[in-house]
Structure 1
Amino acid sequence: MDPVAPTGSGLRWGLRANAAQFTLLVVVNALVGGLLGTERTVLPLLGEQEFELSAYTAALTFILAFGVTKAVTNLLAGTLADRCGRRPVLVAGWLVGLPVPALLIWAPDWGWVIAANVLLGISQGLAWSTTVIMKIDLAGPRRRGLAMGLNEAAGYLAVAATAMVTGMLAAGYGLRPAPFLLGAAYAALGLGLSLVLVRETRDHARQEAATHRSAVDRQHAALSTRRVFALVSWREPALSSASQAGLVNNLNDGLAWGLFPLLFTAAGLSLTQVGVLAALYPAVWGLGQMLTGPLSDRIGRKPFVVVGMLTQAVALGLVAAAGTFPTWVAAVLLLGAGTAMVYPTLLAAVGDVAHPAWRARAVGVYRLWRDGGFAAGALLAGVLADLAGIRGATWAVAALTAASGLVVAARMYETHPVGARRRH
């Protein structure tokens, strides 16, 4: 049974009690992911073929711009969601994202592409962060892992499907404008649904806060944003472990997004094959979260994070060592599986520890560090690739990912009550 909110307001927590609104938010987040997916296959090739960017560091500036703006906006989104409500932040995210496809279609130089990715980062930070917060509000404490699994699965399955479709469109009609017209449709539909059908969920969090007992601070629910930032960034072991693991995870994704298409085309793969590889990784990532999210509600969060980070390290090593399409298929499948273990589990762990009164800000800080990984990945991978090639950069990131998993194993405690009981 879904628990009833304690104040007689008629609000309920739980997926069943909020099925219609939760499903709508899943669809909205799929559209958010689809807008991001329009860039996964096409944009690295656009930089190389149309704008003739020869240095990897220069080519990855679009990911750097995206990562920095999305990371900072995540922090802002959490604060705004607490102060102004969730729905206005979601609508604002879609409004900022509307011009992105047009900028990419008509960009006369690489500066326009960077500007489009600044807007995309802001849009994703506002919209994706808010759908996460809203689903945590609706799900309540019992099904947080399942809720995050469904949310992230929807987003990254849409990334995968769009990456494959845009690869096919680029092969048939060129790199512009056809692939980006799909993004324009996503943005228009997402804005319309958010304006007309999405409802505010902040009251669910307020009702939960009335009875919540936080693992971090049982007596003081009203924390300053500075205190929340310190807890999530370095002071609280589970929250800070999640933040560093999230950063390294998205560092991996920045590498895969910006450099893997160039590695695959240099090896002689067709645009269609590159699109398949670009789609398989987020597809397994997306589908896998539908399993790993709810399993973390039964087994606990920490095992999935540790094993997932180590699995990603092995997969990256395989990408660096491989040279054929079938081997790269195996590598990206393994990379997607490792990411699926980590992604919803880290968000659920943050939700476990953070008090509802400052949970939105905690999610914002976590996502600041996590999506800062895009920027770190763009810088690190670009510099290493210019010095040692794409394969050398991939080996280095594989080692860093393994180290991150070991940090989680040593420092993070189990945040879910079921997992904690199993270990005692």
Structure 2
Amino acid sequence: MTGRTRSPTALGLRPNIAQFTLLVAVNGLVGGMLGQERTVLPLLATDVFGLASYTAALAYILAFGIAKALTNYVAGAWSERYGRKPVLVAGWLIAIPVPLLLIWAPHWWIVVATNVLLGISQGLTWSTTVIMKIDLVGPERRGLALGFNESSGYLAVAGTALLTGYVAANSGLRPEPFLIGLAYAALGLGLSTLAVRETRHHADHEASLLPDERELTPREVFARTSLREPALSSASQAGLVNNLNDGLAWGLFPVLFTAAGLTLTQTGVLVAIYPAVWGIGQLVTGGLSDHWGRKHLITAGMLIQAIALAGIAALDTFGAWAAAAAALGIGTALVYPTLLAVIGDVAHPAWRARAVGVYRLWRDLGFAVGALLTGVLADAWGIRPAIWIVAAITAASGLLVAVRMYETHGPERRTA
């Protein structure tokens, strides 16, 4: 015996560390494309386009959420049919015009239409980086892997929101902040085309190590993930409510903070705190879920988010809002990679990419639901009552997880 040859489809973090690290970096660029809008676009709606209705101003988040949700579903199916890398590259090609259109747009409807493109791009790129990391690491370190993936994306959201807020305060709302997004898109396309490798064969290898399972139709995968399977469907509803909260934060927090007299720089800091804590926290919470299990982290995270939202609705100073935004980030960090890990735990590798697509369909519909619901509520009763109502919805979601979800990882795990 002359030595051991490493399998090209070996599962695990260590044998795939180079590609894993590259995909973490690529997903950071994906998050940065979203972050270019977080501080600037809500203020463009009010200050440049003069929109007085919250519902109309939040139309771009509604368009983004619907486009991203539907594309997530398609991305899961396409990544099984055509491979992961082509879907990733296609997402970056669609991203290229987004910052250019945001710079040029003379009418608000063009901004809304541009966010349809952004949603399609995010659905293809972010879904595919999630699926590729699940492919590479196998079952044992899934929570850790997804924690790193989501952390890179949301740290980039936070950093770019802070950076664009600073640039806007010094140079104006357009065009300079969106030049950052243009650089992200060019770099993401280059790395994905030239350096990222296909990972579908890793999923095929993992499936070969497991008992055979009957091939499921797309309708069966959708029904299991949405309604029938307790853990998968509990994760889907919690994901939707989580992103409902994010749609609220994206669309209304900057308006609330500036209306209270905070400067654009202070608003940029507050807008960045939430995704920054969320991003950093996932470096810890994803791995914790591999050791402690998924269910209790998700329940705690949803309840912490509810408390944090209630604090934002009740408070009115920079320091208090900063603390509440940090708490919101902690709650989201407990939930975000853990929900994806639940999908990876329960779904068989033969239909896992499609299950991820269905879960992300429901989760990112939360952006659309959040934009529509909070816009209508804010127009009717004001921003603070809208936040109170969303806090109550979030608490109810956490209690539903506590009642319906079973543990999917660790000693308490049972067969679905």
Q: TM-score, normalised by structure 2?
A: 0.97
CA distance in 2, matches of 1:318, 1:337: 14
Structure-2 change in CA distance of 1:419 and 1:337 (3 Å): farther
SS in 2 for 1:175: coil
CA distance in 1, matches of 2:136, 2:337: 16
Percent of residue pairs identical = 69
SS in 2 for 1:323: coil
Unaligned runs of 5+ in 1: 214-218
Name the structure 2 match of 1:306: 299
Name the structure 2 match of 1:216: none
CA distance in 1, matches of 2:193, 2:204: 23
Match of 2:169 among 164, 168, 171: 171
Q: Are 1:246 and 1:346, in contact at CA under 8 Å, matched by a contact in 2?
A: yes
Name the structure 2 match of 1:334: 327
Name the structure 2 match of 1:85: 83
Match of 2:128 among 117, 127, 130: 130
* Cα-to-partner distance string for 1:139-169 (whole Å, 9 max, x where unaligned): 1010000000000000000000000000000
CA distance in 1, matches of 2:215, 2:90: 27
Match of 1:55 among 49, 53, 56: 53
Q: How far 1:115 moved relative to its partner?
A: 1.1
* Cα-to-partner distance string for 1:299-341 (whole Å, 9 max, x where unaligned): 0000110000000000000000010000000000000000000
Q: How far 1:263 moved relative to its partner?
A: 0.2
Name the structure 2 match of 1:391: 384
Matches within 5 A, 1:174-253: 174-213=172-211, 220-253=213-246
* 2:258 counterpart letter in structure 1: T
Match of 1:411 among 379, 404, 410: 404
CA distance in 1, matches of 2:30, 2:130: 12
SS in 1 for 2:10: coil
* 2:297 counterpart letter in structure 1: F
Name the structure 1 match of 2:100: 102
* Cα-to-partner distance string for 1:222-260 (whole Å, 9 max, x where unaligned): 111110000000000000000000000000000000000
Length, aligned pairs only:
411
SS in 2 for 1:49: helix
Match of 2:353 among 355, 360, 363: 360
* Cα-to-partner distance string for 1:325-364 (whole Å, 9 max, x where unaligned): 0000000000000000000000000000000000000000
CA distance in 2, matches of 1:220, 1:404: 32
SS in 2 for 1:232: helix
* 2:300 counterpart letter in structure 1: V
CA distance in 1, matches of 2:165, 2:111: 18
Q: Are 1:298 and 1:418, in contact at CA under 8 Å, matched by a contact in 2?
A: no
Name the structure 1 match of 2:289: 296
Name the structure 2 match of 1:315: 308
SS in 2 for 1:368: helix
* 1:68 counterpart letter in structure 2: I
Q: How far 1:297 moved relative to its partner?
A: 0.2
CA distance in 2, matches of 1:132, 1:80: 14
Name the structure 1 match of 2:257: 264
Name the structure 1 match of 2:272: 279
Unaligned runs of 5+ in 2: none
Matched, 1:117 2:115: yes
Q: TM-score, normalised by structure 1?
A: 0.96
Q: Are 1:73 and 1:125, in contact at CA under 8 Å, matched by a contact in 2?
A: yes
Q: Are 2:232 and 2:342, in contact at CA under 8 Å, matched by a contact in 1?
A: yes
Q: Are 1:299 and 1:419, in contact at CA under 8 Å, matched by a contact in 2?
A: no
Q: Are 1:241 and 1:407, in contact at CA under 8 Å, matched by a contact in 2?
A: yes
Q: Are 1:298 and 1:419, in contact at CA under 8 Å, matched by a contact in 2?
A: no
Alignment RMSD (CA, Å): 1.2
Match of 1:14 among 12, 15, 18: 12
Q: How far 1:417 moved relative to its partner?
A: 2.9
Matched, 1:349 2:342: yes
SS in 2 for 1:220: coil
Q: Are 1:301 and 1:419, in contact at CA under 8 Å, matched by a contact in 2?
A: no
* 2:98 counterpart letter in structure 1: V
CA distance in 1, matches of 2:410, 2:397: 24
Q: Are 1:299 and 1:418, in contact at CA under 8 Å, matched by a contact in 2?
A: no
Q: Are 2:292 and 2:410, in contact at CA under 8 Å, matched by a contact in 1?
A: no
Q: How far 1:211 moved relative to its partner?
A: 1.6
SS in 2 for 1:39: helix
Name the structure 2 match of 1:375: 368
* 1:157 counterpart letter in structure 2: L
